[in-house]
């Protein structure tokens, strides 16, 4: 006997490159859909050009996938201005419709709407987005409308919950905080595996690591400036910095030209290495080989990379803003991302102070274990079914 029918918008899974939102959607669904066989899940996917990956959870007996070749831009604007097509009707009827991101969708009266909000960075820093993205956020998706008309909102952090209440005047009682998780496969590989990977990937013996999409919000240009300051210091760490590199891992996002301009004018540009988008299997190796992981972002709704680095036994430097203190806690070295000297000083401390380094590694390992996709899935399903 069916308990409830839940529709889920999985259009975010049609992207070629995985960002935090795609990571959230695929991991949440992989853990949530098998939880209760009495629940029928109807998944909505539409794309004119992109294909849906062959996820294992798509073949579960209580899961039905409805695929359409409608261009999403047409769905967005038709939903926005005509309140059509009704996605629940395309799915054959649902009780609740869940959007893991604020993709706009028209629903029939009586269908409950639950929407996940990851962050409101576009409200805080519109200058960090292209004109087209600002138009998409403010006019196309209209997130404030979706927040207002959602029966319940899932926020991935208390920081995002507070922002929703502040910017959109949403009643905090309507917002449930459900922390994201990290995969149990994110852990430090064996020493043999790491050394083999180092040779195969051509990585240096010592390096500072950044991992994330190359976009202005991540403050990669600030990290490069801090690296320059660190390398030119008259008071280097005990081991010296001559052979220390900076490895920047991530696909090119929007407005990333300043990152490469900053690299080109660096006197240490030969020791700055860029690696494009990497596989899930490679990520633990990058974390595990790094001397320090640095995440000087100006704003995060959650922030997966610092937690992943902690899970791999790498000490973390992260910003002291938005959700990062909430997620990192006392297990990382928190810095002011606007202060290049602060970033450089934190890196130096972790390279120089063995006791501090060891303490943060142990705290980081414990901290990372508090965030799991299983917990996230159970709490999300609780929200959807109540």
**Over the stretch 288-322, which tens digit does the pLDDT of each residue have?**
999 999 999 999 999 999 999 999 999 999 999 99
pLDDT of residue 140: 76
Q: Please name the residues in contact with 360: beta carbons below 8 A apart, sequence gap of 6 or more.
A: 315, 316, 331, 332, 333, 350
The number of beta carbons lying within 10 Å of the beta carbon of residue 67 is 12
Confidence band of 351 (pLDDT split at 50, 70, 90)? very high
pLDDT of residue 2: 66
Same fold for the domain at 4-181+372-385 and the one at 191-368? yes
How many Å apart are CA 119 and CA 298, to the nearest integer? Answer: 12
Q: Please name the residues in contact with 205: beta carbons below 8 A apart, sequence gap of 6 or more.
A: 198, 243
pLDDT of residue 48: 84
Confidence band of 1 (pLDDT split at 50, 70, 90)? low
Which CATH architecture is the domain 191-368 placed in?
Answer: 3-Layer(aba) Sandwich (3.40)
Summarize pLDDT for 80-119 with one digit per residue, the tens. 888 899 999 999 999 999 999 998 899 999 999 999 999 9
How many Å apart are CA 361 and CA 367, to the nearest integer? Answer: 10
What average pLDDT does the chain have?
A: 94
Which CATH architecture is the domain 4-181+372-385 placed in?
Answer: 3-Layer(aba) Sandwich (3.40)
Q: Please name the residues in contact with 160: beta carbons below 8 A apart, sequence gap of 6 or more.
A: 117, 118, 119, 120, 177, 301, 302, 323
Peptide bond into 193 cis (omega under 30): no
The CA angle 134-137-141, to the nearest 5 degrees, is: 150
Residue 161 tokens read as 């919950």
Q: What is the percent of the chain with per-residue pLDDT over 90, rounded to a whole number?
A: 81
Angle, nearest 10°, between helix axes 304-311 and 354-368?
110
Residue 214 clears pLDDT 90, i.e. is over it: yes
Per the CB < 8 A criterion, the answer to whether 51 and 84 are in contact is no
Residue 136 clears pLDDT 90, i.e. is over it: no
Q: Name the helix (H) or strand (E) containing 368.
A: helix 354-368
pLDDT of residue 253: 87
pLDDT of residue 76: 83
Give the start-to-end residue ranges of the domains of the chain.
4-181+372-385, 191-368
Q: Name the helix (H) or strand (E) containing 98.
A: strand 96-99
Q: Poorest-confidence range of 10-19, 167-176, 296-305?
A: 10-19
């Amino acid at each position: 006997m069916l308990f409830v029918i839940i529709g889920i918008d999985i259009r975010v899974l049609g992207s070629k490159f995985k960002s935090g939102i795609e990571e959230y959607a695929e991991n949440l669904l992989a853990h949530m859909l098998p939880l209760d066989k009495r629940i029928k899940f109807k998944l909505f996917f539409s794309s004119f050009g992109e294909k849906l990956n062959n996820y294992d959870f798509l073949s579960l007996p209580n899961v039905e996938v409805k695929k359409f070749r409608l261009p999403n831009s047409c769905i967005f604007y038709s939903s926005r201005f005509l309140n059509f097509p009704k996605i629940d009707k395309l799915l054959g009827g649902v009780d609740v419709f869940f959007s893991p991101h604020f993709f706009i969708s028209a629903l029939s009266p009586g269908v409950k709407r639950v929407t996940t909000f990851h962050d409101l960075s576009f409200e805080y820093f519109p200058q960090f987005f292209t004109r087209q993205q600002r138009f998409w956020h403010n006019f196309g998706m209209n997130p404030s409308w979706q927040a207002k008309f959602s029966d319940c909102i899932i926020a991935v952090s208390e920081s995002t919950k507070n922002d929703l209440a502040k910017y959109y005047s949403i009643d905090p009682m309507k917002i449930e905080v459900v922390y994201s998780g990290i995969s149990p496969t994110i852990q430090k590989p064996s020493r043999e595996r790491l050394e083999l990977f180092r040779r195969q990937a051509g990585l240096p013996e010592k390096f500072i690591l950044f991992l994330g999409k190359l976009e202005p919000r991540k403050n990669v240009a600030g990290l490069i400036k801090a690296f320059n300051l660190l390398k030119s210091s008259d008071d280097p760490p005990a081991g010296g910095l001559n052979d220390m590199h900076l490895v920047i891992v991530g696909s090119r996002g929007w407005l990333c030209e300043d990152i490469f301009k900053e690299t080109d004018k660096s006197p240490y540009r030969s020791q700055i290495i860029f690696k494009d988008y990497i596989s899930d299997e490679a990520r633990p190796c990058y974390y595990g080989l790094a001397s320090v992981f640095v995440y000087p972002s100006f704003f995060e709704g959650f922030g997966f990379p610092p937690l992943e680095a902690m899970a791999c036994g790498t000490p973390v430097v992260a910003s002291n803003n938005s959700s990062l203190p909430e997620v990192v806690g006392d297990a990382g070295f928190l810095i002011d991302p606007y202060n290049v000297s602060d970033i450089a000083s934190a890196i130096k401390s972790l390279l120089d102070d063995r006791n501090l380094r060891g303490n943060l590694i142990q705290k980081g390992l414990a901290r990372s274990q508090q965030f799991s996709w299983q917990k996230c899935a159970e709490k999300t399903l609780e929200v959807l079914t109540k």
